[in-house]
Structures are given as C-alpha cells and as structure tokens.
C-alpha cells in the first residue's frame, strides 16, 4: 500500500474536493496544513512550482500544492493569478460590480497542481475550463463557485452543481493528469 500523498493547503474545501477526486484513482491524500509563501508571478505554473518546492522542503517529504486563477475576458484576464487576494478583498459581489455593463462575460478557470519530491524538480499539471461569469451569485459553494458557469454545466454555476462540480471542474482535469502520472511513473510517494 502506498503512503498517502501530502497535499499542502489550509483550505478545507479544496482538500475535500481533492481527496474525493483522487479517491476515484485509489490515491489517498492527507492534508498538510502549511501557509506557503506565494511569489508574485503572472504564470500559475511558476507560483505552483515554487510553492511545491517549499512544501517539500518544509515537510521533508514528497508534497503537492495547487494554485488556481479565474481569468475574466471582459477584465483583460483579471484577477488571474491574484484571484485569492481579489476574492478576499472584493468577493464575488465586487467582481460582479466590476462586470456591470460589460458585454464580454467569458472566463476561464485554471488550475495547476505541482508535485515535488525531495530529490526531484516540481512536476506541473495544468488544466483550464472555459465558461462565463453569471450575472448574479447563484447556489452554494466556496470561492468563485457561485458566479462561474462552466461550459457543459447547462447554464448552472459551480455553486449550483453541488458535488457534480467535481465531474467537470478545472481541478478534476488537473488531478486526472496528476493521477495518471503517479500511476504511470510508479511513483511511490
């Protein structure tokens, strides 16, 4: 039996989703509660790779991290890699106010998981889901879930999808790639 994969995060919601998705691939995950330094960069892969290096060093064990960003077309890709900060300062209602009257509500939710072992370099697993920003908050959920409508979600926000979100989310797509890599590489964690 392989050891559980250490996922460095302090976000219970994210841990729950990751654990459920990787469980489908018979990969168990444990939460490693770490506050990681986030470098200022415009590319999610750079941010995730650096956080994975730090988590691996601090845990002295293989670790994975995730960095996500909501890239809104009508705002020139904003908030992008600064999504967590924008959510903490403006929230969903603030983002909706920024989009008032905007003709383009297209958006892409991106996720990058980075895995790093003590003797290796970070491996990044990016994904993206295209969609749009709803005109108002709808449904439950955390983060941007109540305002993001993924393509293929029949007009429903992630927040309205409940657990069905895990079937088509940006997070699932990145984790599927990570799971395949773990199984194919024989990575023993």
> What pLDDT score does 185 carry?
81
> What pLDDT score does 187 carry?
58
Flag whether pLDDT at 1 surpasses 60: no
Active-site residue 60, yes or no? no
Please tell me the CATH code under which domain 5-185 is placed. 3.90.950.10
Query: How far does Cα 51 stand from its chain's mean position?
Result: 13
Q: Give the separation between CA 138 and CA 154, rounded to whole angstroms.
A: 14
Convert the pLDDT of each residue in 11-53 to its tens digit: 999 999 999 999 999 999 999 998 888 888 889 999 999 999 9
Convert the pLDDT of each residue in 72-103 to its tens digit: 999 999 999 999 999 999 999 999 999 999 99
User: H or E stretch including 80?
Assistant: strand 79-80
Domain boundaries of the chain, sorted by first residue: 5-185
Three-class SS of residue 32?
A: strand
Candidates 67, 73, 104, 145; catalytic one:
67
């Amino acid at each position: 039996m392989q050891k559980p994969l250490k996922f460095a995060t302090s976000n219970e919601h994210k841990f729950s989703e990751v654990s459920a998705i990787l469980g489908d691939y018979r990969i168990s995950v444990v939460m490693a509660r770490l506050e990681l330094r986030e470098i200022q960069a415009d590319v999610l892969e750079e941010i995730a790779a650096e956080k994975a290096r730090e988590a691996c060093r601090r845990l002295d064990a293989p670790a994975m991290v995730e960095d996500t960003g909501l890239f809104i077309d009508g705002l020139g890709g904003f908030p992008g890699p600064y999504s967590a900060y924008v959510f903490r300062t403006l929230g969903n209602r603030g983002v909706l106010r920024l989009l008032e009257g905007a003709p383009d509500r297209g958006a892409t939710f991106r996720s990058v998981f980075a895995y790093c072992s003590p003797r290796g370099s970070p491996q990044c697993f990016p994904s993206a889901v295209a969609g749009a920003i709803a005109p108002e908050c709808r449904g439950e959920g955390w983060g941007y879930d109540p305002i993001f409508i993924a393509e293929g979600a029949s007009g429903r926000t992630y927040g309205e999808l409940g657990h069905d979100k895990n079937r088509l989310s940006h997070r699932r797509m990145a984790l599927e790639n990570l799971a395949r890599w773990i199984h194919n590489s024989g990575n023993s964690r």
